[in-house]
Structure 1
Amino acid sequence: MRFLVWRLKHISDNNFLLIVASVIGLTAGLAAVTLKTTVHYVQHLLQQNLDLTKINYLYIVYPAVGIILTIMVRQFIVKDTPGHGITRILRAISKTSSRIRKRYMMSNMLKSAITVGFGGSVGLEAPIVVTGSAIGSNFGQFFHLDYKKRTLLIGCGAAGAISAIFNSPIAGVIFAIEVILTEVKISKFIPILIASVSGQLVSIILLGEDVLFSFKIVDSFSANDTPYYILLGIVSGLASLYFIRVTYFTEDLIHKIQQPYGRAAIGGLALALIIFVFPPIYGEGYESILSLLKGNEVKFFSGSFFYHMAEQQWVIVSVLFAIILAKPFATALTIGSGGSGGVFAPSLFMGGVTGFLFTRVVQIILPSSSISASNFTLVGMCGVMSGVLHAPLTAIFLIAEITGGYMLFVPLMIVSAISFTTISYFEKHSIYTKNLIEKGDLIQYDRDRIVLSLIDLKKIIEKDLLTIHPDATLGELVDLVKKSKRNIFPVVNEKNELEGIVTLDDIREMMFESDKRDKLIIKTLMSKPPAFVSPQEKMQSVMNKFELTQAWNLPVIDNGKYLGFVSKSRIFNAYRKKLIRQTKE
C-alpha cells in the first residue's frame, strides 16, 4: 500500500502503464519460451525412437494418454474448466470486468504442454495468450488499476505472448487489437507496442532463430498469378467455414458423453486413429508444413501408409485433401475430449495444406503453369487463419513477419481480404466469439447493450412491496395501504407463489366504502401481471419485456416462487451509474 501511495505521488498513470506493460511483455515472453521449450522436449522424448520410414503404432497411444493426463492435471492440480482459452479471455473482459483468476497464469501452460507434447492436434498459441492475458490482468488487479487499464494490460500480455512465440512484434500488436481489444483507442497503442517488443526481446535472447515457425521466401511474387490468388482466397474462405462448422459439430457431439474419462477415452481413441492414418496431423503440424514449403513431400508423409507412394501425383492430391477434411475433427476431438490447446496453429496448418493442394490441382489442370508452391502454401496459411479467427490483419502481418519480408504482401492482402469476405457471408462471428455472442456473454460495438449487460438484475430487485393473501378481504388490503409506500400489492399464496397483483388504482374508488371491506375478496380484485422476469434473465430481454408491455414494474419469479419486483426507474438509475463509471474509466 505504501508503494501504491508513492507511485501515485511520483509516477503518472501513463508512465506507470508503460513500465508495467514492459514487465508484462517480458514475463509473457518468458512464459512463451518456457512453454515452447517444454513441449518440444516432450515431443523429442516421445519421438526419438520412432522409425519415420515405417508405420508407427505409438501414434495410437500418445494422444489418448496426453488427453487423460491433461484431465487428471485439470481435476487434481489446477482445478479449472475445459474450453477454448481465448474465448475465456473475451468472456472475462465482457462479464467479469477484466478480472482473470491467478491460476490461469500457469494452468494453461501445464495442460497444453502435456496435450501438445503428446501429439494433440492443437496449438500452443491460445494457451500462451491466455497465460499472458492472465499475467496482465493480475498485474492490473495487484496495482488496483481500473477496468479500462486492466483490459489494456490483458492486451499487452497477449501481444507479448504472440510476439515471443513467433518472433513477430507487429503481428502481436495487431492480434491484441483485432482479436482481444476490439475498442482500443489509438492513444493506447504504445503500451501494447512496448509489451510486444519486450516479448520479442526475450525470445531473441533465449531462443535466437529457434522460434515456433519461420521460413524465408525463395520465390518472388508474380502479378500474373493474381487470378490464382483470388481463387485461393475463395477456397480459403470455404475451408475456414468448413473448419468452424466441423469443429463446433464435433465438440457438441463429444460433449454428449457426460463422464470425463469416458469422453477422454472415446475422443482420444478417435483422435489417435486419425493421427495413425495421417501422421502430419500429429501435434501442431509446423514441421509438416515446413516439409511442404521445402518441396519435400516424402518427409511430409513419413511414418504413414503413404510413405512409399509419396511421389505419385494422385496419392499426394488425395491424401492432402483427406488431411484437410480430417484436421478439424482432430482439433475438435483434442479440445472436446479434455485436452488443452487452441485453433491458431490448426488454422495455419490447414491453410498451408490447402495452399499446397491448390498448386498441385492447378498444375494437374494446367501443366504449363509455373506457380510457386511455397508462396501459395504461405498465402493459404494467411487465408484460412484470416477466415477462422476473423482477423485478416493479424494473418497478413504474421505471415509477412515469419517469412522475413514483405515480398508477398500484395497476395497476402488479396487472399486475406477475399477469404474474410467469403466466410463473413456465412459466419458473422469468429470461432472465438460465436458461442459467446449467441449466449449474450459478449456484446460488440453496441454501447447500450454493453452497459445493460453490466447490470446485475439480482441486485436491483425491489422487495419492499407488501404482499397479501388471495383469500384476504378488501379491509385487510386497506390496512396494508396505510403502511405501504408503494401502490402495488403482490397477491401471494401460502406457497409463496404469485397469483396476481392489485394496484392502488384498482381499489381507489371502493376502499372508502365500509360495506364492501368485509365482503370483497382480493382474488376477485387482482389482475395478472403483463409479464414475468427471471433473476437469471439478460437485461436486454428484461428491457424488451418492458417495451412490449409498456409496464413500469414487473414481478421477478424464480422456479415459480415470488422474489420481488423490478422497476424501469430502478434500471434507469443503475444504467446511468454504470454509464458514468464507464465514461470516467
Structure 2
Amino acid sequence: MKIEGVLTQVLIWRLRHVSNRNFILILGSLIGVLAGVVAVTLKAAVHFVQEALELRFGFAHSFNFLFPFVGLLITYLLSTYILHDRPGHGITDILFSIAQRSSIIARTRMYSHMIMSVFTVGFGGSAGLEAPSVLTGSALGSNIGRLMHINSKKRTLLIGCGAAGAISGIFNAPVAGVIFSIEVILAEVSLGAFIPLLLASVFASLVNHTLADPSIQFYFQINEGFVVEHFPFYSFMGIACGFVAVMFRQIVTRSETLITRFTHPFVRLLVGALGLSVVVLAFPAVYGEGYDMISSLLTGDISVLHFDTSLFGRWGDAYPWLLVLFMLLLIIMKTVATGLTLGAGGSGGTFGPSLVIGGLTGFFFSRLLNYVWGEAPVPEANLIMTGMCAMMSGVQYAPLTAIFMIAEVTGGYALFVPLMIVSALAYTTASLFEPYSIYTKRLIERGQLLRHDKDKQVLSVMKIRKLIEKDLLPVNRDSSLGDILKLVTLSKRNIFPVLDAERRLVGIITLDDFRKIMFDEEAQRTVFARDLMHSPPAEVGSDENMATVMEKFERTGAWNLPVIDDGKYVGFLSKSRIFNAYRGQLIRQNRE
C-alpha cells in the first residue's frame, strides 16, 4: 500500500508539473537505458556460459555436441516449472500484443526470455539473442507504461522505445535501432514519435559504450570501399541471397512444424534436441550464435568452419571446389539447426541466424568466384558483410534496418552503395515468393495483424465476447404461441431463440413469424414454437475474429446472428451493437 501511495503522489506531481510530451521523452530515455542494460547483460551472460564450458571441457571435446541438448533441457525445465512461460517467437509475440492486447505484454516477459535464452544459446543452440532482448525491452516499455497509466497508443510507442534500445544496445547501432523499431515493430510513426525512439536508442548505445566488453562485440572495420566494376557481382549476390532467404524461412518453418506434430512438449524437446546434437556432431560450425565464426572469416581464418576435420577435408587441397560444396551444406545445416532449436522449445530468434547465414552465403559466393576466376574480384570481407545485409533484408523484410546496421557495425559508409543494392534485390526477390515477413506471416494468416487496412485494424481489437447480447428470452420447441406472447410483453427484443433441454439452439423465432396470427385465439392454443421456428442464416463463435463475423453479416444480410460455442447457445450478436462499438473505438483512438 505504501508503494502504491508513493506512486500515486508521483503521478499527481507529474500531472501538475510535467507535460505529457516531456513525460514520454523521460520514459523513452529510461526504457532505452534499461533495454541497453538488458542487451549488454544478456550478451555477457551467454559469453560467460560459453567460456565456462570451454574452460571446463574445451570445444574440441568429444561430448561437445551434447551441450545443446543440455541447454534445451534446462530451458524446458525453466519454462515449465519455474518461469511458467513458453519460449515462442519474441518479435511475433510483440506484434500480437500490440495488435490484439492493446500493447499489454505480460510482466514475466521482462525477464523470462532473457533467462531462458542464456541457456539455449550459451549451451550452443542455434538461435539469436536479438529477439529475447527486443522482447524484454518491449515488455519493460509496456509495463512501465501501464505503471504510469499511459494509454495504449503511447504504450505502443514505449514498446518501440524498448525494441530500439535493445537493437542499439546489442550492436551499438543507434540509427539501426530506431529504424528497426519503425520498420518491424511500429505500424505507424508520427514525426513526434521519432524523438522518444531516438533518445531510447542513443541512451542504449551509451550503455553499450560504458558497460559492454569490446572483445565480445560484433564489429569489423571495412578497408576497401565500393568499386563501380563490382556492381554486377553485388547484384547477383543480392538476388541469390533473396533465394537463400526463402530457403531459410521454408526450412525453419517446416522444421518447427515437423517437431510440433509431437503434442507433448517433452517429446518435442527430445526429438529437436537429439536432431540438433546430430547436426552439431556432423557440422560443429553450426554451434551457437555464429558471430564469432563470421568474425574469424572476416579476418581470413577458415579453421572455424572445421572443414579440415570434416569428410571433405582430406581431399580439400586436391579439389578446391569441395570447400564451396561444404559451404553450401553448412548454410543448409545452420538453417536446419535453427529450426530444430526453436522447434524443440529453445528461447531465441531468427534475427541472429539470418545474419550469420548471410555472412556464410557471402563467404560461399567469394570462394565460388575465387574458384571460377582464380582470384575473387571483390574483397571477401565486403561480400560477407553485404551478404549479412541481404539476408536480413530478405528474412526480416527490414531493408533499411539491414543497410544502416551493417553500415554502423563496419565503422562507416564505405559499403553504403552495395548495401543498398543487395538489400533492395534480396527484399524484392524474397517478396516474390513470400509476401509477408517471417514475423508477420502467421499473424496475418490468422487475421490477428492487419497493418494496411484501417477498418480491419479497428475490428481486430474488438472482442466478440464483450458484445454478446444475452437479454433475449428463450423458448422451447413445445412452447405454444400463447406462451410466446406472454414473453413478448416481457421482452424488449423481437427475436426468441428456441433451445432444447441441453441449451442447444434448434431454431429462432422473430415477431414477423407470428405477427398475422398473434391475435387468433385458436392459433394461440394449437400453434407451437416448432411450427414457427426457422434456422438462422449463419452462426458465429465467441473466438472468431471480427472481420470474419462482418463477412457473415454482409453475406447473409442479417442484423442479428446467434453465438454458438461447442454446440451450446451463448447469446446473440447484433450488427448495430458492433457499429456502436466500432464508432467508440475510433473515438478512443482519435483521443489518444
TM-score past 0.5 threshold? yes
| Cα separation, partners in 2 of 1:233 and 1:110, compared to 1, 3 Å | same
Whether the 8 Å CA contact 2:369–2:377 is kept in 1: the answer is no
State the secondary structure of the residue aligned to 1:296: coil
- After TM superposition, list the pairs within 5 Å mapping 1:455-474 onto structure 2: 455-474=462-481
TM-aligned CA deviation for residue 210 of structure 1: 3.7
| CA deviation map 1:557-579 (0-9, x unaligned) | 11111111111101101111111
1:138 corresponds to: 143
Q: Which residue of 2 aligns with 1:13?
A: 20
1:348 paired to 2:393:
no
What is the alpha-carbon distance in structure 2 between the residues aligned to residue 497 and residue 291 of structure 1?
Answer: 67
Pick from 414, 420, 426 the counterpart of residue 413 of structure 1.
Answer: 420
2:98 to 65, 90, 93: 93
Change in Cα spacing, 1:292 to 1:517, as seen in structure 2 (3 Å) is same
Match for residue 344 of structure 2? Answer: 337
Letter of the structure 1 residue corresponding to residue 569 of structure 2: Y
Inter-partner Cα distance in structure 2 for 1:304 and 1:436: 43
Counterpart Cα distance in 2 of 1:304 and 1:406: 38
Q: What SS does structure 2 have at the residue aligned with 1:316?
A: helix
Instruction: Tell me the TM-score normalized by structure 2.
Output: 0.96
Alignment of 1:558-577 (within 5 A): 558-577=565-584
Cα gap change, 1:509 to 1:234, in 2 (>3 Å): same
Q: Which residue of 2 aligns with 1:316?
A: 323
User: How has the CA–CA distance of structure 1 residues 41 and 135 changed in structure 2, closer, same or farther, with 3 Å as cutoff?
Assistant: same
Partner of 1:27: 34
> Once structures 1 and 2 are overlaid, which stretch shifts more, 207-216 or 503-512?
207-216
Give, in angstroms, the shift of residue 282 of structure 1.
0.8
Residue number in structure 2 paired with 1:530: 537
CA-CA distance at 1:369 after TM superposition: 5.2
Q: Give the superposition deviation at 1:542.
A: 0.8
Equivalent residues of 1:556, 1:562 under 8 A apart: yes
Q: 1:289 to 1:310 in 2, by over 3 A?
A: farther
Q: What's the counterpart of residue 5 of structure 2?
A: none
Assess, with a 3 A threshold, how the Cα gap between structure 1 residues 231 and 466 changes in structure 2: closer, same or farther: same
Mapped contact 1:279–1:303 kept (Cα < 8 A): no
Query: Secondary structure at 2:330's aligned position in 1?
Result: helix
Q: Select the residue among 317, 328, 340 that pairs with 2:335.
A: 328
Residue of structure 1 aligned with 2:458, choices 451, 454, 474: 451
Cα distance in 1 for partners of 2:183, 2:512 equals: 55
1:315 Cα offset (Å): 2.7
Query: Residue in 1 aligned with 2:170?
Result: 165
CA distance in 1, matches of 2:138, 2:216: 21
Kindly provide the amino acid, as one letter, of the partner of residue 296 in structure 1. Answer: D
1:211, CA displacement in angstroms? 5.1
Change (3 A) 1:410 1:470: same
Within the alignment, does 1:250 sit opposite 2:255 as a pair?
A: yes
* Equivalence for 2:527: 520
Q: Secondary structure at the match of 1:48?
A: helix
Contact 1:487 1:504 (8 Å CA) reproduced: yes
TM-superposed CA distance for 1:59, in Å, is 2.5
Alignment of 1:392-431 (within 5 A): 392-431=399-438
Among 261, 273, 291, which residue is 1:268 paired with?
273
Q: Distance in 2 between matches of 1:368 and 1:442?
A: 48
**Residue of structure 2 in register with 1:40 after alignment:** 47
The one-character-per-residue Cα deviations of 1:190-217 (angstroms, maximum 9, x if unpaired) are: 0000000100101101126345311010
Residue type matched to 2:341 in 1? T
Question: Alignment partner for residue 193 of structure 1, among 176, 194, 198?
Answer: 198
Partner SS state of residue 189, structure 2: coil
Q: Residue type of the partner of 2:202? A: V
What corresponds to 1:110 in structure 2?
115
Residue of 419, 440, 447 corresponding to 1:433 = 440
Distance 1:245 1:314 in 2: 27
- Greater mean deviation of Cα atoms: 278-287 or 393-402: 278-287
Give the 3 Å change call, closer, same or farther, for CA 37–369 of structure 1 in structure 2. closer
Q: Which amino acid aligns with 1:23?
A: L
- Equivalent residue in structure 2 for 1:227, among 211, 228, 232: 232
Q: 1:176 aligns with which of 160, 173, 181?
A: 181
Residue pair 1:39, 1:113 contacting (<8 A) in 2 also = yes
d(CA) in 2 for partners of 1:117, 1:381 = 22
Structure 1 unaligned regions, length at least 5: none
CA contact (8 A) 1:278 1:304 kept: no
How do 1:541-556 and structure 2 match up within 5 A?
A: 541-556=548-563
- Matched residue SS, 1:221: coil
Contact preservation (8 Å) 1:291, 1:300: no
Change (3 A) 1:202 1:318: same
1:368 and 1:282 mapped to 2: Cα distance?
30
Counterpart residue number, 1:374: 381
| Gapped regions of structure 2 (runs ≥ 5) | 1-7
SS of the residue corresponding to residue 349 of structure 2 reads coil
For residues 269 and 371 of structure 2, what CA distance do their matches in structure 1 show?
42
CA contact (8 A) 1:31 1:128 kept: yes
* Aligned residue identity for 1:286: Y
CA distance in 1 between counterparts of 2:82 and 2:54 reads 27
What's the RMSD between the two structures over aligned residues? 1.6
Q: Which moved more, 1:406-415 or 1:97-106?
A: 97-106
TM-superposed deviation, 1:100: 1.1
Aligned partners of 1:304 and 1:444: how far apart in 2? 49
8 Å contact kept, 1:533–1:554? yes
CA contact under 8 A between 2:246 and 2:434: conserved in structure 1? Answer: yes
Query: 2:307, 2:326 within 8 Å by CA — same for their partners in 1?
Result: no
TM-score, L = length of structure 1: 0.97
The one-letter code of the counterpart of 2:27 is V
CA contact (8 A) 2:134 2:162 kept: yes
Q: Is the 8 A contact 2:50 2:122 kept in 1?
A: yes
The answer to whether the 8 Å contact 1:246/1:328 transfers is yes
Aligned partners of 2:321 and 2:371 also within 8 Å: no
Q: Relative to 1, partners in 2 of residues 1:389 and 1:229: Cα closer, same or farther, differing over 3 Å?
A: same
SS across alignment from 1:253: helix
Q: 1:433 to 1:124 in 2, by over 3 A?
A: same
**1:252 and 1:146, CA in 2 relative to 1: closer, same or farther beyond 3 A?**
same
| 1:387 aligns with one of 387, 390, 394 | 394
Deviations 1:101-129 (A, max 9, x none): 22111111111111111000111111111
Superposed displacement of residue 293, structure 1: 1.2
2:24, 2:196 within 8 Å by CA — same for their partners in 1?
yes
Amino acid paired to 2:53: L
Task: For 2:152, give the aligned amino acid.
Answer: Y
Q: Which amino acid aligns with 1:438?
A: E
Q: Secondary structure at the match of 1:518?
A: helix
- Which deviations, in whole Å up to 9, do the C-alpha atoms of 1:450-484 show, x marking residues without a partner? 11111111111111111111112222222222222
Q: Which moved more, 1:231-240 or 1:292-301?
A: 292-301
Aligned-partner SS, 1:485:
coil
Deviations 1:66-102 (A, max 9, x none): 0001111112221101211111111111111111122
Q: Equivalent residue for 2:368? A: 361
Using a 3 Å threshold, how does the CA distance of structure 1 residues 307 and 56 change in structure 2: closer, same or farther? farther
1:150 to 138, 147, 155: 155
1:310 to 1:90, Cα distance in 2 relative to 1, 3 A: farther
**Count of residues in correspondence between the two structures:** 583
Which residue matches 2:4?
Answer: none
What is the distance in 2 between the residues matched to 1:489 and 1:300?
Answer: 72
Answer yes or no: is the 8 Å Cα contact 2:369–2:375 preserved in 1: no
Give 1:353 deviation, angstroms. Answer: 0.7
What residue identity is the alignment partner of 1:186? L
Relative to structure 1, is the Cα distance of residues 309 and 58 closer, same or farther in structure 2, using a 3 angstrom cutoff?
farther
Post-superposition shift, 1:49?
5.5
Contact conserved, 1:165 with 1:211, CA < 8 A, in 2? no
